[in-house]
Every structure is written in C-alpha cells, then in structure tokens.
Amino acid sequence: MSGNALEPPPSTQGAPCEPRPCRLGSLSCCHSKGGPCITCFLFVHRRRPDVITTTDWLAPVIWEGTFNRRVLGKHYRNRNLTMGLAVFAIGRIADQYLERFLESAKKHFMTGYRVVFYITVDDLDKMPDVDPGPLQTFQVFTLREEIWWQDFNLLRMRNLGEHIVQHIQGEVDFLFSMATNQIFQSDVGVETLGASVAQLHAWWYFKSTKDFPYERRRRSAAYIPYGKGDFYYDSAFVGGTPQQVLNLIEEYLKGVLQDKQNGLNSSYENHLNKYFFLNKPTKLLSPEYNWDVTFYPPPQVQFIKVAQHPKRRPWP
C-alpha cells in the first residue's frame, strides 16, 4: 500500500490553497504560492459545458472529456497503489451476473494497477470459472446460510464493514463496492479515485431536486427535508479510502438501528443519500459510470462506462 496516494506534487505540498478558477477552465482547482495544484492538470472541465462538472463544494464530477488520461497515468503510475473491488453475489444474482461482472471487471477496472477482488457468495459452487488477470487477485468469502433471510443491503454492507476492519484496510489504498448486475463496458480507471466517491443516479440526475425520492419521514435517521439536498446518489457504486467507506457503513448501520427503534424501515439508498448530504463526497461519478440499460441515453451521456442491468430478487 502507498502512504501518499492523495498527496499533491512537491511544488505545492505545504502551501496554502485557494479555490478559484484557473486557466484550464476548472472551477474546482486550487492555486498556491508554488503554482497550480495537481487538480488543474488532471481535470479539464471546459470540454463539457453541457453538464455539471463541479459541485458547489468544489468536488469534481467525472464525465468523459473532463480528465486527461495521459497525465493521470503519469501522476498515479509510480505511487505503488493497490485497489480493492468488493462484490456481493448470492442466490440468483450470482447465477445471472457474477461471471459477466468478473470478466468485464478483469478487462476494464483499473488496468495496469494491482487489484484485489473481494467476492462474497453464498456457495462456493456459485463461483464462476474465472481466473484473475495480471496484477489481480481474488479473495472469495462465503456467507452463512442461516442469515440469507435478512435485508440484502444490510447484510451486504455489514459484511463489507467487517472485512474492512479485519483485513481490507491494511491491503488496499482505495476500495470500491459495486452491485453484481453492473457490467463494465469500457475502462474505469484512476480518474475515479478520491477519498470519498459517490455515484450520481442515472435517472434522477436529469430530474429536479424537489422530486428526488429522499426519505421524508421526520422520525427516520435518513430524513432529508423538502428543499434540501444536492444530488440523488445511486447505492450500486460507492468508493473511496477504506476508512471513508467504513465511515459510511457505520453511519448506515446506526441509522438502521435508530429507525428500527422508531418502528421505521428506510432503504439503504435513502441512508446513503443522507450520509452524503451531511458528508459531502470529494468526487462524483457521472451517470456514465452506472447507466441503466432500460433507458435510452440522452446526449449528455456520451460514453457508457458501466451498464446496470435489471435484476430480480437476489435470492430464490
């Protein structure tokens, strides 16, 4: 693991940073006495005037055309990074999508970097005959049959949190959790790296904030008042440093417990949206990184990086 994955170049380390527009067209880059920071060179926002490329809190929104692959590769290549990708596949989900997910991830996820795939299945016989590629390793875990009946997302996130504490936090620099019914269509690389990474929802990104399906019951831990909120985030794809992912999981589990005590039951996605409302993500992925194939892509979605396919109930 690298201890300096997020450090800026030496010319800007320790220098005060002032967010302001830069000559490259970015609204989120910062300048210091040592010159413009790395953000200016990695993310060039002027190429996509048709979409939101920077949030109000100056986090970049990643679309095709907003980053420089060559400069990104040069910046990260020698930083000795290890990436983690966690996927939770039980019942019919494993039968239907796991092999396609792994084959596509082998080909397109963080190619050229070390990647550890954390794969949880309910039965080792469900693990497809897929071998890891160069620089890739598979860690496969099984789930106890007696806890299948629990809420799928509660089970998934609690399981991931336990693995982060037990070993993942010492094995990878960045960790992503994805749904099994997501199939990579093209390369997803270091442009997605950040301390806390959220995925914009493909459908709700193009809708008004007032229509977002946030939790509106005041007694729920996931409650977001009308008139509040920034974006609607998709729970299928989340990432960041292992500690930041663990923070999200812990707050989600606290929220579930609070709701249970109040006789309520809100969805994982509602809790995730409340978490990112209070704890702003440092990077947002555009709908290109999780496009729902049941919808025809609008002009803004120029490249589908990951396609989300319909899924049935995850267990028989």
H runs (alpha helix) in the chain: 38-42, 69-76, 92-93, 99-108, 152-166, 242-261, 268-278
Residue 292 assigned to a binding site: yes
Residue 201 assigned to a binding site: yes
Residues taking part in catalysis: 269
Residue 90 assigned to a binding site: yes
Which residues neighbour 147 within 8 Å (Cβ) at sequence distance 6 or greater? 155
**Would you give the end-to-end CA distance of the chain in angstroms?**
39
Following CA atoms 233, 234, 236, 239 in sequence, which dihedral angle do they give, to the nearest 10 degrees? -20
Measured N-to-C along each axis, helices 152-166 and 242-261 cross at an angle, to the nearest 10 degrees, of 140
Buried b (16+ CB within 10 A) or exposed e, 79-108: eebbbbbbbbbbbebbebbbbbbbebbbeb
80: left (phi over 0), alpha (psi -120 to 50) or beta: left
Which residues neighbour 150 within 8 Å (Cβ) at sequence distance 6 or greater? none
Tell me the three state secondary structure of residue 67: strand
Pairing of strands 233-240, 174-178: antiparallel
Buried b (16+ CB within 10 A) or exposed e, 153-174: bebbbbbbbebbeeebbebbbb
Instruction: Name the residue among 286, 297, 300 with its Cα closest to residue 67.
Output: 286
Annotated binding site: 88-90, 201, 269, 292
Annotated binding site for UDP-N-acetyl-alpha-D-galactosamine: 88-90
